[in-house]
Structures are given as structure tokens and as C-alpha cells.
Amino acid sequence: MDRDVLGDRYTLLDVLGDGGMARVYLARDGVLGREVALKVLRERYAEDELFVERFRREAKNAASLNHPGVVQIYDQGRAEDGTYYMAMEYVPGGTLKELIARRGPLNSSEAADIASRVADALAEAHRGGIVHRDVKPQNVLLTASGEAKVADFGIARATSSRTMTETNTVLGTASYMSPEQVRGERVGPQSDLYSLGVVLYEMLTGRLPHEASDPIATAMKHLERPAPHPRDANPVVPEELDALVVRLLSKDPEERYPGAAELAEDLRRIRDGLPPLASGFGGQTRTNPTVVAPTRPVPRSGGPPARRQIPWALVALLVGLAVLGGVAWALSRSPSEQSPSDAGRNPVARRSPRSPT
């Protein structure tokens, strides 16, 4: 954009961030006299019905959730030149991803508090029949006082929708995907809880529970590797919080938590030094303090070794990733030595030091 005012209402002040689909500006709303985060769809996508629909869906999903833990949507529209825009609540404290990168592991009380606020927001979304599907620290914004708000409902769907592909586009972020998302199965609220478990693990340890050289290998680890214990990476994590994270990272959705509201309550109790209330969960400890690496089954004598079966939905994941570009080579040659980047920072969050646009 090469002008200073959009839609005869929003004066562009600065660039807050860039994403593949949109750019976000800090803007001044001339009608209501307040600063907003103005998300503008990139010009090359303005004629693409899929991207326009996803852009509108983000505004509609978030606007339907009247909750202090969800970034609020004030306005959306199309300017006279065809530019699609969305005016959102400006959250000045940066993203949770940036906080972790800056400080390393958070203390257990702070991590439990932030996770409880995210769980509260997800509970509201789930009550409305919306599954976020892309819970990650880049999509958790922090206010100046450190309160968490969930952003970016652009790929959220009703609980009956399929999750992995949408016209060959991967939906979700490999490092935070639940096993059922990786397999391309229908998702429910427990899928968001798994992703929040990954976020909580990252807050407590400063790193991800499963990492690999490319998104495909990372997704496979979510399918095959056992859930690591945060206490193995950070011994100061309380046992109750350690057990809660491992439960959230269960491969079976039914073994996680009954719902986000119950999770939020237990996180607050652990934050306050109280035992969790979830049925069959209080006082749970583990007998083996180390994570045992998965082993391959030993074939029976007298017959050929069993071949590992790869779900067809996972094949769809590989194709989707290839279409995105950058990992297509992973299907035909060995992975690169370069580590993956998990979607970068969320552009809604933080004021850039750059001079105003």
C-alpha cells in the first residue's frame, strides 16, 4: 500500500508485522478515535475466493466470541480500490512466542496462569461450536499487563469439519498439531487442548516437545513418539503440572481433558498451589522419570518383518506440504540440515520500531 488512509477512516501509522496472507498496520480509527491493528489482505489474494473467504471467516469467528481472552474484531470491509481489511483490538505486549524467546522458560506459576487464560478463551469458542485448530504461542498475544488473548481464527472450523487440507493447503502448524490432525481425522475441542499442551510444554522448558528437520518429520513424531515430561528438561516444574502436560499430550483425545473449562480450573489451582480436581488425576505421579525412546517391534522368527503402515490421510499431509513449497524436496531426497521455522511471529502483536508508513 502506498497511501496513508484506508477506507476514508483508518490512518496508517506503522507496520506491526507481515504474514504470507496479510500485512498488519497500527492505525488510527478516525471515527472512534482509537488505535487499532488493521489487517489488510495482500493485493495478490484479493481476487482469490479461497483467501477472501478465509479472511472473512476469521473476522466472523472472532466477532462471534465476546470474551476478554479473544482478540476483538471491530470492523471489516472492502475499500474503494478493492482492498479487504479488518480492524482489530490492538494488543501492545507482543506474542507469547516472543516472550519465550526473550526470557527462556517461564516460571510455573506464570505459565499456568497464561495457559489458564488461553483455556478459558478456548472454552468459550468450543461452547460456540468453534475449534481454533492453530493454537500456538504466535497466536497468543499479551497485553501490557501480561494478560493473554487468543488471536487468528482464520482456519477455525465447526467441530464436524475435516482439518488437514483445504484445496491442498495444509491447515495448522506441524509443531503444534494433534495426532488426529496429522492423520486428517475430524477434530474436536480436544485437538485444541493437545496444541495448548504443546504451548504449555514450551513455556515450561523453552523448547518444543517434538522437533525435527522438516514439518513432515515433526508431524511423524507427534504420531509416534511418547509425550516427553517437562520435568526432564526443567526439574523445577511441579509434578502436578508435569502430569497435566503429559495428559494433554496423550495420543488418544479421550485421555486428555474432558474440556477446556475443566483444564482452566485445574491450571488455576496448580498456579495457586492446590491439587487439581480432574477425576482420576489428583496426585498422579510417574514411576519412570526418563523418557524411553520408542522401539521398533521385533519380528517373529520364521517370517518377514512387519511393514509399518502409513495412513492415507498422512499421504494427503505430505502432498499438502509439497504444494506449500519449501518441503516438496522432502518427498524425494534427504531432509535439509536447516531447522524449520514455526510460522514466525504473529503480526497483530507488537509495534515495530520502524518509522510510520
Most confident range, picked from 66-80, 278-292, 314-328: 66-80
* Residue 77, helix vs strand vs coil: strand
Looking at the structure, do residues 49 and 138 belong to the same domain, yes or no?
A: no
Looking at the structure, do residues 112 and 231 belong to the same domain, yes or no?
A: yes
CATH number at residue 225: 1.10.510.10
For residue 158, give every residue at least 6 positions away whose Cβ sits within 8 Å of its Cβ, in sequence order, or none.
Answer: 129, 130, 131
Looking at the structure, do residues 253 and 218 belong to the same domain, yes or no?
A: yes
Looking at the structure, do residues 198 and 239 belong to the same domain, yes or no?
A: yes
For residue 7, give every residue at least 6 positions away whose Cβ sits within 8 Å of its Cβ, in sequence order, or none.
Answer: 77, 79, 80, 85
Looking at the structure, do residues 102 and 199 belong to the same domain, yes or no?
A: yes
Which residues are annotated as catalytic?
134
For residue 99, what pLDDT band results from cuts at 50, 70 and 90?
Answer: very high
- Boundary of a domain, candidates 89, 120, 141: 89
For residue 311, what pLDDT band results from cuts at 50, 70 and 90?
Answer: low
Beta strands in the chain (DSSP E): 5-6, 10-18, 22-29, 34-41, 73-78, 84-89, 130-131, 140-142, 148-150, 157-158, 165-166, 169-170
Average pLDDT over residues 249-264: 94
Average pLDDT over residues 75-88: 91
Looking at the structure, do residues 130 and 199 belong to the same domain, yes or no?
A: yes
Place of cell 486428555: 256
Which of 99-108, 193-202, 295-304 bottoms out in mean pLDDT, i.e. has the lowest? Answer: 295-304
Looking at the structure, do residues 28 and 127 belong to the same domain, yes or no?
A: no
Question: Count of residues for the chain?
Answer: 357
d(CA 262, CA 202): 21
**Cell numbers standing for residue 135:** 493454537
pLDDT at 332: 43
Check whether 320 has a pLDDT greater than 60.
no
- For the chain, the average pLDDT equals 78
Average pLDDT over residues 263-285: 79
Whether residue 286 is contained in a domain is answered as no
Average pLDDT over residues 315-338: 46
Whether residue 336 is contained in a domain is answered as no
d(CA 186, CA 58): 20
Among the listed residues 328, 9, 318, 323, the one whose alpha carbon sits nearest the alpha carbon of residue 174 = 318
Whether residue 283 is contained in a domain is answered as no
- Concatenate the DSSP letters of all residues of 140-182 into one string: EEE-TT--EEE---TT-EETTSB-SEETTEE-S-GGG--HHHH
Check whether 356 has a pLDDT greater than 60.
no
Looking at the structure, do residues 69 and 185 belong to the same domain, yes or no?
A: no
For residue 242, what pLDDT band results from cuts at 50, 70 and 90?
Answer: very high
Looking at the structure, do residues 324 and 214 belong to the same domain, yes or no?
A: yes
Check whether 329 has a pLDDT greater than 80.
no
- Boundary of a domain, candidates 56, 89, 122: 89
Looking at the structure, do residues 105 and 180 belong to the same domain, yes or no?
A: yes
What percent of the chain stands above pLDDT 70?
A: 72
Whether residue 213 is contained in a domain is answered as yes
Looking at the structure, do residues 65 and 130 belong to the same domain, yes or no?
A: no
Whether residue 38 is contained in a domain is answered as yes
Looking at the structure, do residues 42 and 117 belong to the same domain, yes or no?
A: no
pLDDT at 155: 64
Residues 27, 38 contacting (CB under 8 angstroms): yes
Our CA angle for 137, 22, 160, nearest 5°, is: 65
Q: Which domain holds residue 84?
A: 5-89
Total count of domains within the chain:
2
pLDDT at 61: 85
Check whether 22 has a pLDDT greater than 50.
yes
Residues 178, 191 contacting (CB under 8 angstroms): yes
CATH number at residue 21: 3.30.200.20
Whether residue 347 is contained in a domain is answered as no
pLDDT at 3: 63
Q: Per residue in 188-202, pLDDT tens? A: 999 999 999 999 999
What is the reported pTM? Answer: 0.74
Whether residue 110 is contained in a domain is answered as yes
pLDDT at 293: 35
Helix (H) or strand (E) holding 287: none
